[in-house]
Amino acid sequence: MKIGPIDLGERPVFLAPMEDVTDLAFRLMCKQFGADMVYTEFISSDALVRFVNKTTQKLTICEEERPVAMQIYGREVEPMVEAAKIVETARPDVLDINFGCPVKKVAGKGAGAGMLQNIPLMLEITKAVVEAVNIPVTVKTRLGWDNDHKIIVELAEQLQDCGIAGLTIHGRTRSQMYTGEADWSLIGEVKNNPRMHIPIIGNGDVTTPERAKEYFDCYGVDAIMIGRGSFGRPWIFKEVKHYLTTGEILPPLTFEWKMNVLREQVKQSIERLDERRGIIHIRRHLAASPLFKGIPNFRETRIAMLRADTLEELSTLFDRIIAENA
């Protein structure tokens, strides 16, 4: 599979762009475990053109994580074009446009998935961004605004006509947010449309190696994107790639090994930010990690882990958890 000139191999698996999740440290860790391409947190075009410091920091990438895509979002043509040009100077391999974020503060203002209610503007922005930069431009979007407006099959052709080099489809509508099951049948319909010739990347509910293979086999997508399935579990890429390559489940990774991966995540988060902010940042991963599911009488330990303010506190808790469960 190729996006523009970038060869991503057979059945590649990507790390989805996620705000407050896919920072540099986490991207590098997922890359280490086998992610074929990683995406930055999404970048507000309005904030970027105003050179807001917190936003410009998201432009930092490193050679070890390539190929890497940067994602921008916005609701007006000129700021999106200007932001795209700024992003290009940071030298990502791919520029992705976010037309899929469902959260109210984004979609409610007409950006992200909100653009599904204004297709002419979505297409105008897409065409203008493609023409403004010399790197491949891709789009990430959803099936439609709601169950009565699942427009992705027609929309995919329109976006392709704008000159994009690839399309990622999350198998839910905006109104679904992240509830219910992702509907991959329409993703498959887009992929199997004979008029489509760009790569189609499927996203939504890829939480196990078996499911990743099923989606490749059943719907014919060119790539799979993993989002929430990577929370507190960056080794999912190792498990998925092994299964896709061999057809066999990876031998179980030990509890202690996985705990040490989470420990490394904490360390890198603190090094990138500082102790307080780094620990706050990593709490989302700790809270969502499947590693702690099924541990009896874990509630109090879980609360303590998510309330810990220092690396010393967390390290002590991790040591105790390993001793009791390894």
Catalytic residues: 101
The helix or strand, by DSSP H or E, that contains position 40, with its residue range, turns out to be strand 37-44
299, burial (CB in 10 Å: exposed 0-12, middle 13-18, buried 19+): exposed
Determine how β-strand 2-3 pairs with β-strand 6-7.
Answer: antiparallel
- Crossing angle of helices 275-288 and 311-325, in 10° steps, is 30
- CA 238, 135, 237 angle in degrees (round to 5)? 5
**Amino acid identity for residue 110 in this structure:** G
What phi, psi does 234 have (nearest 5°)? -65, -20
* Residue 9 CB neighbour total at 10 angstroms: 10
The answer to whether the beta carbons of residues 208 and 235 sit under 8 Å apart is no
The answer to whether the beta carbons of residues 235 and 261 sit under 8 Å apart is yes
The helix or strand, by DSSP H or E, that contains position 253, with its residue range, turns out to be none
Q: Is 161 helix (H, G, I), strand (E, B) or coil?
A: helix
Q: Is 237 helix (H, G, I), strand (E, B) or coil?
A: helix
In whole angstroms, give the CA distance from residue 31 to residue 65: 6
The answer to whether the beta carbons of residues 100 and 73 sit under 8 Å apart is no
